[in-house]
Amino acid sequence: MGSIKGPAIFLAQFMRDEEPYNNIDNIARWVAGLGYKAIQLPGWDPRAIDLDQAATSQTYCDEYKGRLQSLGLEISELTGYLAGQVLCMHPAYEVMFEGFHPPGLRGEARTEWASGELEKCVHASVKLGLNCIPVLSGAFAWHTVYPWPQRPQGIIEEAFREQAKRWRPVLDLAEENGCAIAYELHPGSDVFDGATFEMFLDATDGHPAACLNYDPSHFLLQHLDYLAFIEIYGERIKGFHVKDAELRPSGRVGVYGGYQPWAGRAGRFRSLGDGQVDFRRVFTLMTESGFDGWAVLEWECCVKSPEQGAAEGAPFIAEHLIETTDVAFDDFAGGEADVAKNRQILGLD
């Protein structure tokens, strides 16, 4: 068994245009002071990293890593969430997702841009010494998830064929460079649970680079067994978001949330320890599955401030890390097998 590394923190929800959150040097000092050992980078945010330079310049990447190392920090992963969502996008979301890509892009031009950004993430990850790129799959069929009228025959299969067509060049590039594309299974994307991940694997011929970024919060809100998921798909899990959630349905709202803001929904993301995820069991199963990557805080609580969530997150993760044993408690009974004695114990002689 490998040991999970941590604590790490995803910077996306913390970066804003005021100190100490406004650039990589300032925010790195802040998270290092809170006890984090690594940062996960939003590849689309120029305040965090210049993706174009990172994808093309080894010098830039070496200097970037050196500045972080001087603070005692590593990079856990470089993420491509927004480009992944844009790569496969139903036209109904064009207006809402305009902020995810440069202005004026439509159709094939937008798809080519998204594919190019994901390819940059692969090239930059290689230069930064990383091997996992967390993403979202995007969606063509999400609007049919709870259908009325019923879905036409073949529509889901067609959606996944198109998903595979658009993602395969990125997956191939990742495999060629020793990287994994780690899909975070997220409602709003076509790949949102175990069944849809299997459909995606089928459509991509079981592509070895098609992997998972495990986040139990999204499973708890779906009533999906997030512990059994690790046992089923553990070998494909290459990334790990430590994010808590709670689902408290009432006579007024349930899983779908009634179009309420986050604070009014039955399902809400929470700061670590304030939700319902059994993290002791999660960390045990992740360790037993052989996961040896980073445990990364993703904070999206609708109650606590980001400052409190980040401050509490580092010790929470540190307390859940497992130092794996190489000694069995019953080693005293070890030694070479004695066939004669074993037969005697079994009453065979």
Contact call for residues 199 and 156 (beta carbons, < 8 A) = yes
For the chain, domain boundaries: 5-345
**Could you read off the pLDDT tens digit of each residue along the chain, which spans 349 residues?**
679 999 999 999 999 999 999 999 999 999 999 999 999 999 999 999 999 999 999 999 999 999 999 999 999 999 999 999 999 999 999 999 999 999 999 999 999 999 999 999 999 999 999 999 999 999 999 999 999 999 999 999 999 999 999 999 999 999 999 999 999 999 999 999 999 999 999 999 999 999 999 999 999 999 999 999 999 999 999 999 999 999 999 999 999 999 999 999 999 999 999 999 999 999 999 999 999 999 999 999 999 999 999 999 999 999 999 998 776 655 656 668 899 999 999 999 8
Q: Is the entire prediction scored with pTM above 0.75? A: yes
**Integer Cα distance of 154 and 150 in angstroms:** 12
**Integer Cα distance of 310 and 253 in angstroms:** 29
CATH number of 5-345: 3.20.20.150
Residue by residue, what is the 3-state secondary structure of the chain? CCCCEEEEEECCCCCCCCCCCCCHHHHHHHHHHCCCCEEEEECCCCCCCCHHHHHHCHHHHHHHHHHHHCCCCEEEEEECHHHHHHHCECHHHCCCCHHHCCCCCCHHHHHHHHHHHHHHHHHHHHHHCCCEEEECCCECCHHHCCCCCCCCCCHHHHHHHHHHHHHHHHHHHHHHCCCEEEEECCECECCCCHHHHHHHHHHCCCCCCEEEEECHHHHHCCCCCHHHHHHHHHHHEEEEEECEEEECCCCCCCCCHHHCCHHHCCEEEECCCCCCCCHHHHHHHHHHCCCCCEEEECCCCCCCCHHHHHHHHHHHHHHHCCCCCCCCCCHHHCCCCCHHHHHHHCCCC
CA angle 66, 68, 73 (to 5 degrees): 125
